[in-house]
Amino acid sequence: MKLFRIRGGVHPKGRKHLSEDKPIANLPLPELLHVPLQQHIGAPAVAVVKKGDAVKKGQVIAVAQGTISAPVHAPTSGTVNGLGRYTAPHPSGLPGRTITIRTDGRDAWTDDLPAPMEPFTSSPQAIAQRVKDAGIVGMGGATFPSAVKLNLGDRYDLHTLIINGAECEPYLTCDDRLMREHPADVATGVRIMARALEVKRTIIAIEANKPDAIRRMRQAVKDLDGVQVVEVPTRYPMGSEKHLTQTLLGLETPARGLTAEIGAVVHNAATAFAVYEAVVKGRPLISRVVTISGEAVTNPANLRVPIGTPVAQLLEYAGGLKTEPERLLLGGPMMGQPLADLKVPVVKGTNGVLALSGLEAATKSVKASCIRCASCVDACPCGLVPLDMAAAIRKEEMEIATQSGLMDCVGCGSCAYVCPSNIPLVQYFNYAKGRITYLQRAEHKQKETKRLAELRTERMERIAAAKREAMAKRKAEQARKKAEKAAKNQHQEKATV
Amino acid sequence: MTTSPPIIGGPFLKQSPSVSHIMLVVMLALTPATLYGLYQFGWPAVYLFFVTVGSALLAETAWLKMAGRPVWPALHDGSALLTGWLLAMTLPPWAPWWIGVLGSLIAIWLGKQVFGGLGQNLFNPAMVARVVLLISFPVHMTAFVVPTPFMDLNAPGPIESLAVTFDYGVGPSIDALSSASVLGHIKTEVGRGAEWTAAFSSTFEMRGFVFGAVPGSLGETSGLLLILGGLLLLGARIITWHIPVSMLAAIAVLAGVMNAVDPLTYPSATVHLLSGATLLGAFFIATDLVTSPVSPLGKIVFGAGCGILVYVIRTWAGYPEGVAFAVLLMNAATPLIDRYIKPRVYGRTRRGEPLVPEEAVK
């Protein structure tokens, strides 16, 4: 298949050899699970259990709230230990609403599990509903509720489903393992999603550094019509939704738009597996595969982990740390976040836990001045000029930064990766994006306050005017009555006379 | 356990090259041409080179001390060393020591530090210094000598050479060995009404010309070794092809056209490409990262502009050589180029409007 070139990109060392040959192992059930209510983009789920409740595996413990949201299920059987705030998987390490479950070790499934569906005869709406009920979100890390993306066919003319098996982040091998160990299940999930989207064509894209996954997935789809496995070049950020679409279809997603606008929807390979589990087996999303890797980890591994398991348990299973890590990360080294604490739980979007040694992590490098070498310009897959954006942000000129395309930045970090001066460009951009959101909110608030104040003034005036009118009316009425009375009196007087 | 780090935005991996690494590669690429220059212009050139580079380092140190900024990180990045080195490459090899010292002071102080140091300067520091020197001391800056390699009988020894560079004791008279540069000679002769080919062949041998055994500035004479260095820079991805190729192409095209129009008056493209500072300029000076545009198309515009100006100055202006002027003029245009020529943003048209998808919304 003809592939299209994307602009820029970088070639970080993959370092996938650390874990790529480790089969997926089941992590033993921990004693406590801390299941956050916000594991997805959108509104947090609302808890429907209370302290002391007994829960079964797969039982709904929090329901979705609004269109863009996802329910949360009990990852195993046990008792609700409490509903409270617990360190969230976020760089701030701030607590978020969490349901803590004390596991009972029996791992007993609930009786209310939805019945398995006939995958290839069910209606697209039924499939999307099932995916929604199963709490499935984008498992590549973006955690956007998948059902919303499966319903895009309602609004757009879709022709292609792209399954993102690029896994372009260094170290991560969880999708690779999933495709190698469960190719048929992933393929079934892919077919179900294609049915839900009503697309004619499906492309499973895998980076060239995963030859075994490519081979096995090809084998799994060889009898299927309209499904093909495509080897894409190993180049970061190949797994970026927009750039993968461009590589495969040669079409660019309009700025600030969705890939659906050009007729394509992208789902992650692990999401496809979760869809298979939900539709064919009726099982909600309660566990996921996580890669534990990095030079500081004794035995790197790929583990199937119940949602809510503290990261410390994963590291313990992997034999602990052999050296003091320079960096502890959640996710890949390019776009992942620093781990605030080892008690942070694994959530639906956690694809990796990395402990990087000093040799691998870029922490000791000194920040120097920008020498305008344009490495960042050449590396940017979005055609931006990162050095100009950073200069504007340093001066708090957010408007100039926005005009330079700040909002078109996907945050892939290619620019900061190549910067010889070690300028933390992504840090600048994240700061600016937050700052701009704040400013926009402040402006919105100001406008809204002004609008409401104006409305109030208008309303008060109207009330006053109405009052005045009523008063005038009453006065006129009184005057009229008086006059009438006077006239009557006169008349009577006349009569008496 | 490690505590939360101050910078929370990724990436947490880094490609290894640093600023000092870049400077180091550029110096490495300059080395062959430099060694050749030092070899063929002898001890005076060696003295001048070290005086210039040394005073560049001292100038940087002195400024940082005065400004109360840490000295070592700035010296360590290698930019002052490289500036001094590049300046030395463009000086007449037997120029007196104070030309090198003054040049370095101008380059580091006026060319770089007044703007705020590395990365902030608008103009190429070495070229600022060269132009100030050329205008202020035209005699010293155009006193070129015939190459006298170390083994040459006429070559001055280390002691005699002190007299050349430091004006001390008795040494060979510069006059005895003086010569015009290729471009200077052609310009003078053509100005007198002679044909350029006659002027060229009467004085220079083509083979020596290609390899660099001709009078000229310290490091600009060997076209072959400069191309080698340029290829090294391209291979190491320190520079991209855009500026050298567009600059050389602009010069070649203009020279080719003019030579075709009047073959007797206008020297051929080969002469223009191989003489003067064309190659040094195209690979090492115009490509200065700080003072050139950042987008690929911008670089092409910049390079072509340099090439056109070089040819125009050489052919119709008062000076026989114009690389320094051309680069400075285009440096001045760089912010403008960067403002108007940017890469196209993903998902947008060149004008910045979002693309309109073919498949419309249902």
Question: If DSSP codes are grouped into helix, strand and coil, which group holds residue B60?
Answer: helix
Nearest neighbour of B294 by CB, restricted to A369, A374, A413: A374
End-of-domain residue from the set A295, A317, A339: A317
The predicted structure's pLDDT at residue B5? 45
**B362 inside 8 A of chain A by CB:** yes
Helices and strands, counts by H and E, chain A: 13, 17
The pair of structure tokens assigned to A452 is 């409401």
State the ipTM, two decimals.
Answer: 0.88
Mutate to test the interface with B, among A92, A201, A240, A252 (most CBs of B within 10 A): A252
**B339 inside 8 A of chain A by CB:** no
The predicted structure's pLDDT at residue B352? 86
The predicted structure's pLDDT at residue B358? 67
In a domain, B113, yes or no: yes
In a domain, B9, yes or no: no
* A471 vs B169 pLDDT, higher one: A471
Q: Is the pLDDT of residue B48 over 90?
A: yes
Q: Which residues have CB under 8 Å from B203's CB, separation 6+?
A: B179, B185
d(CA A16, CA A176): 10
Mean pLDDT of B170-196: 77
Whether residues B290 and A157 touch (CB distance < 8 A) is answered with no
Q: Which residues of B touch A358 (CB under 8 A)?
A: none
Whether residues A333 and B8 touch (CB distance < 8 A) is answered with no
| Tally of domains in chain B | 1
In a domain, A327, yes or no: no
Mean pLDDT of B168-173: 57
Q: Is the pLDDT of residue B2 over 60?
A: no
Mean pLDDT of A199-217: 96
**B77 inside 8 A of chain A by CB:** yes
Nearest residue on chain A to B20, alpha-carbon basis: A420
The predicted structure's pLDDT at residue A365? 61
Q: Which residues of B touch A326 (CB under 8 A)?
A: 2
In a domain, A5, yes or no: no
Q: Is the pLDDT of residue A307 over 60?
A: yes
Q: What is the pLDDT of residues A370-414, one digit of tens each?
A: 999 999 999 999 999 999 999 999 999 999 999 999 999 999 999
**B153 inside 8 A of chain A by CB:** no
- Lowest mean pLDDT of A489-493, B217-221, B228-232, B327-331, name the range: A489-493
Q: Which residues of A touch B338 (CB under 8 A)?
A: 385, 388
Mean pLDDT of A335-353: 92
Whether A348 and A45 have beta carbons less than 8 Å apart is answered as no
What type of residue sits at position B115? F
Q: Which residues of B touch A337 (CB under 8 A)?
A: 8, 10
Give phi and psi for B36, each to the nearest 5: -65, -45
Nearest neighbour of A155 by CB, restricted to B10, B346, B362: B362
Whether residues B342 and A422 touch (CB distance < 8 A) is answered with no
Residue A490: exposed, middle, or buried by beta-carbon count in 10 A (0-12, 13-18, 19+)? exposed
| Tally of domains in chain A | 2
Average pLDDT over chain B, rounded to an integer: 89
In a domain, B102, yes or no: yes
In a domain, A340, yes or no: no
Mean pLDDT of B10-37: 90
Q: Is the pLDDT of residue B168 over 80?
A: no
Q: What is Dmax (Cα atoms) for chain A?
A: 125
d(CA B65, CA B71): 7
The predicted structure's pLDDT at residue A364? 53
Which 282-321 residues of chain B touch chain A by CB within 8 A? 289-292, 294-296
Nearest residue on chain B to A407, alpha-carbon basis: B345
* A260 vs B171 pLDDT, higher one: A260
Whether residues B10 and A337 touch (CB distance < 8 A) is answered with yes
Mean pLDDT of B244-267: 95
Q: Is the pLDDT of residue B357 over 90?
A: no
Whether residues A338 and B8 touch (CB distance < 8 A) is answered with yes
Q: What is the pLDDT of residues A415-463, one digit of tens each?
A: 999 999 989 999 999 999 999 999 999 999 999 999 999 999 999 999 9
The predicted structure's pLDDT at residue A70? 96
- Please report, for the domain that includes residue A187, its CATH number: 3.40.50.11540
Q: Which residues of B touch A14 (CB under 8 A)?
A: none
Which 112-131 residues of chain B touch chain A by CB within 8 A? 117-120
The predicted structure's pLDDT at residue A335? 93
Identify the band that residue B1 occupies on the pLDDT scale cut at 50, 70 and 90: very low
- Lowest mean pLDDT of A312-316, A485-489, B123-127, B310-314, name the range: A485-489
User: How big is the A-B interface in CB pairs under 8 Å?
Assistant: 195
Give phi and psi for B77, each to the nearest 5: -70, -15
Identify the band that residue B199 occupies on the pLDDT scale cut at 50, 70 and 90: confident
In a domain, A352, yes or no: no
Give DSSP secondary structure letters for B289-355: TTTS-SSHHHHHHHHHHHHHHHHHHHHHSSSS--HHHHHHHHHHHHHHHHHH--PPPTTB-TTSPBP
The predicted structure's pLDDT at residue A373? 93
In a domain, B122, yes or no: yes
Mean pLDDT of A474-497: 84
Whether residues A417 and B7 touch (CB distance < 8 A) is answered with no
Whether residues B22 and A371 touch (CB distance < 8 A) is answered with yes
| % of chain A residues with pLDDT over 90 | 85
In a domain, A363, yes or no: no
Q: Are A92 and A241 within one domain?
A: yes
In a domain, A143, yes or no: yes
Question: If DSSP codes are grouped into helix, strand and coil, which group holds residue A384?
Answer: coil
In a domain, B180, yes or no: yes
Q: Is the pLDDT of residue A254 over 90?
A: yes
Q: Is the pLDDT of residue A124 over 60?
A: yes
Nearest neighbour of B119 by CB, restricted to A326, A369, A385: A369
The predicted structure's pLDDT at residue A340? 81
Average pLDDT over chain A, rounded to an integer: 93
Identify the band that residue B29 occupies on the pLDDT scale cut at 50, 70 and 90: very high
End-of-domain residue from the set A287, A317, A347: A317
Q: Is the pLDDT of residue B8 over 90?
A: no
Sequence-ordered alpha helix ranges (H) in chain B: 19-67, 71-76, 79-89, 97-105, 125-136, 138-141, 158-166, 174-177, 182-191, 196-203, 206-211, 223-235, 242-261, 269-274, 278-280, 296-316, 323-340
In a domain, A183, yes or no: yes
State which residues form the domain around B209: 19-339
Which 33-72 residues of chain B touch chain A by CB within 8 A? none
Q: Is the pLDDT of residue B169 over 60?
A: no
In a domain, B109, yes or no: yes
Whether residues A254 and B354 touch (CB distance < 8 A) is answered with yes
Mean pLDDT of B110-116: 94
State which residues form the domain around A166: 16-103+113-317
Q: Which residues have CB under 8 Å from B122's CB, separation 6+?
A: B115, B291, B331, B332, B334, B335
Whether A306 and A286 have beta carbons less than 8 Å apart is answered as yes
What is residue A108's DSSP assignment?
P
In a domain, B58, yes or no: yes
The predicted structure's pLDDT at residue A497? 63
The predicted structure's pLDDT at residue A119? 85
The predicted structure's pLDDT at residue A187? 97
Distance of residue B130 Cα from the nearest chain A Cα, in angstroms: 22
Nearest neighbour of A155 by CB, restricted to B7, B290, B361: B361
d(CA A394, CA B3): 26
